[in-house]
Amino acid sequence: MFLPKRAVLPLILVGGSILLGGWFLQEGVSRQENVFVQVRLFQEVMDHVSQQFVEEVDPAVLYDSAIDGVLEELDDPNTSFIEAQDWEDFRIRATEGNYGGVGLEVVPRDDFVTVMSAVPGGPGARAGIRPGDRFVEIAGQPAEGMSVDRAVEILRGEAGTSVDVKMGRNGLDDPISFSLTREIIRLKSVPFAVVLDGAGYVPLQVFRTTSSDEVRAEIERLADEGARGIVLDLRGNPGGLLEEGIDIAELFLPAGEKVVETRGRALGQSEVYRDGTPEVFPEIPLVVMVDETSASASEIVAGALQDHDRALVVGAPSFGKGSVQTLFTLSGGNVLRLTTAHWYTPVGRSIQKDVPQDRSDLPHGAWTLDNDLVATEDLPDRPEFQSTGGRTLLGGGGITPDLWVIQDTLATSESRAVQALYAQQGVFTRTLFNFVVDYLQANPRLAPDFSVDDALVAAFVRELRSSDFQASAQVLREADRYVRYQLESEIALQAFGEEGQFLRLQDRDRQLQEALRALGQSATPEELVALADERPGANPVGG
């Protein structure tokens, strides 16, 4: 996702008229007159249907269907109509990351709204609410059968106000009462940052209003702790705000360098964005990590730094979203997210895929322990470009890494077994979550070096079978490595948070280990980039 910070305020009727313009072209009628006729004709049809159709029809439903039809005609997966009741969640998740609430991530579980995680330092976490706790009562209202949306609506509110809740907890007969004072919850773009093997590791999850400030602060802290280089991990980052992508690229580029160019049809949509500030970290070697789920603003950062030979890009080819979306505020609090431009890297590369990426178009792929399907073979031929330093780079189909590394993949028999488990993924995930909740309550002093032994795996398999999970003994045996990994990952996450989960699993992250190896061989940014494969798009390493 790739969004400007400032919403545009168009006239709805004008926008609608232009979109309807292709439907009723009439010979001999000017464009302006034709638009007016089309709008009037459309309204006449709506009036007749809503007033005289044999069955009563809700006009609001008709208009919603018309809007959906217009947007579907564009055949653009990135254009959407966001209803007013959904806009707040979209704003929090995609742009600002701030809201008034109690800092609890919740999911539906067995007819109860259940805590999945608690924001560190938030009201819920400080009060002692744990993952696995389920809401029995919220603000005096019984919570059994309550939807997640309704629960979130009640829990959110103005900072300083309070909400009383009663929580059920496994092993306790009676609910626990909590009085929570709402605060401004700030969702961090960088959940943690650590030094690994002398290098700083900074995972950036989304591009929100505070992202560049968070990245800069973490790099400065890691440098003070002795980090000799930086790994900026953009894997899984879907994008976000254009300005934040530019600001992050500016941390590593000299003033005046081109960062990205947008080209659109409407006034103000075509622009060249250049670095407006001096380079903040000129001497720090930088690796940028991307994968199949790195999109939009993530690709802008990776593309700009790759074009200028400022970073070594490691991982797998990125998603390939080279378009720009603008948010248009509409009446009633609704919002239109509309694709208004395409963007290009500093040397003119478009990384847009012509077909929406559903991963079915990968030449050959394999499943990983993290439930990802990754490419394991050369991508199709694509146009070649030259970086500012003369290196050959590829356009189209996402950002191709300088070092393409395949994660640990499953063998054929394992893949078949895991795909059989995927058919019941909902039962598997729910059982895993509940099993780990019970396990941690029984082991409150669990150490980070805990063991996932045969007895623990067997206990989890018994829990699966008691949950009507349909899988043969052979399937579970062949999926043993996958089951152990998922169990280990969930325990680490619930017990020690995202950082603890990362530290537990990082030695099996082949892409990360390759990034750290490259940084260990390089004292300067120039030495690091010199490690890039001179054959772009060559077969990846690993498997």
Q: Does residue 352 contact residue 361 with C-beta atoms inside 8 Å?
A: no
Q: What is the CATH number of the domain that holds 386?
A: 3.90.226.10
> 């702790």: which residue's tokens?
225
Catalytic residue list contains 415 = no
Question: Do 325 and 303 share a domain, yes or no?
Answer: yes
Question: Do 61 and 109 share a domain, yes or no?
Answer: no
Query: Do the strands 541-542 and 403-406 form a parallel or antiparallel pair, or are they unpaired?
Result: parallel
Compute φ and ψ for 119, nearest 5 degrees.
-60, 125
Buried b (16+ CB within 10 A) or exposed e, 119-137: beebbbbebebbbbbbbbb
Question: Do 222 and 363 share a domain, yes or no?
Answer: yes
Question: What is the Cα 507 distance to its own chain's centre?
Answer: 23
The CA distances from residue 104 to 79, 122, 178, 187, 493, in Å, are: 30, 8, 13, 11, 15
Question: Do 261 and 180 share a domain, yes or no?
Answer: no
385 burial (CB, 10 Å; 0-12 / 13-18 / 19+) is middle
Question: Do 309 and 401 share a domain, yes or no?
Answer: yes
The CA distances from residue 140 to 151, 154, 177, 179, 388, in Å, are: 12, 11, 11, 12, 63
Residue 71 falls inside a structural domain: yes
Q: What is the 3-state secondary structure (H, E, C) of 454-469?
A: HHHHHHHHHHHHHCCC
Residue 466 falls inside a structural domain: yes
Q: Which of 291, 307, 372, 402 is catalytic?
A: 307
Q: What is the CATH number of the domain that holds 162?
A: 2.30.42.10
Q: Which residues contact 389 (CB under 8 A, 6 or more apart)?
A: 308, 309, 529
Question: Do 355 and 239 share a domain, yes or no?
Answer: yes
Residue 265 falls inside a structural domain: yes
Question: Do 110 and 152 share a domain, yes or no?
Answer: yes
Question: Do 465 and 332 share a domain, yes or no?
Answer: no
The predicted model scores a pTM of 0.81
Domain stops at, among 42, 75, 108: 75
Q: Which of 296, 350, 415, 489 is catalytic?
A: 296
Catalytic residue list contains 307 = yes
Residue 262: predicted pLDDT: 93
Question: Do 352 and 245 share a domain, yes or no?
Answer: yes
pLDDT (tens, 9 = 90+) of the chain, 543 residues, equals 555 444 443 332 233 333 333 344 444 455 556 778 888 888 898 889 889 989 998 988 888 899 899 999 998 888 888 888 777 777 766 666 667 889 888 888 878 999 887 877 789 988 888 888 899 999 999 999 998 889 988 998 888 999 999 999 877 788 999 999 999 888 789 999 999 999 999 999 989 989 999 999 999 999 999 999 999 999 988 888 889 999 999 999 999 999 999 999 998 889 999 999 999 999 999 999 999 889 899 999 999 999 999 999 999 999 888 998 888 998 888 899 899 999 999 999 999 876 544 444 444 556 777 766 666 655 667 899 999 999 999 998 899 999 999 888 888 889 888 888 877 877 888 889 889 989 999 999 999 999 999 999 999 999 998 887 888 889 999 999 999 999 999 999 999 999 999 999 999 999 999 999 999 999 999 999 999 864 444 456 655
Question: Do 127 and 229 share a domain, yes or no?
Answer: no
Q: Can you give the residue range of the structural domain that contains 476? A: 412-508
Q: Which of 321, 387, 489, 509 is catalytic?
A: 321
How many distinct structural domains can be found in the chain? 4
Q: What single letter denotes the amino acid at residue 233?
A: D
Residue 173 falls inside a structural domain: yes
E strands present in 76-169: 80-82, 98-101, 104-109, 112-118, 134-138, 141-142, 162-168
Q: Does residue 293 contact residue 205 with C-beta atoms inside 8 Å?
A: no
The CA distances from residue 462 to 197, 479, 485, in Å, are: 40, 15, 17
> Measured between alpha carbons, how far is 336 from 341 in angstroms, rounded to an integer?
15
Catalytic residue list contains 291 = no
Question: Do 365 and 447 share a domain, yes or no?
Answer: no
Question: Do 271 and 349 share a domain, yes or no?
Answer: yes
> Measured between alpha carbons, how far is 40 from 22 in angstroms, rounded to an integer?
15
Q: Does residue 195 contact residue 144 with C-beta atoms inside 8 Å?
A: no
Residue 364 falls inside a structural domain: yes
Q: What single letter denotes the amino acid at residue 277?
A: T
Residue 45 falls inside a structural domain: yes
The two three-digit tokens of residue 274, written as one number? 């250049």
Domain stops at, among 380, 407, 434: 407
Residue 15: predicted pLDDT: 32
> Measured between alpha carbons, how far is 184 from 193 in angstroms, rounded to an integer?
23
Residue 213 falls inside a structural domain: yes
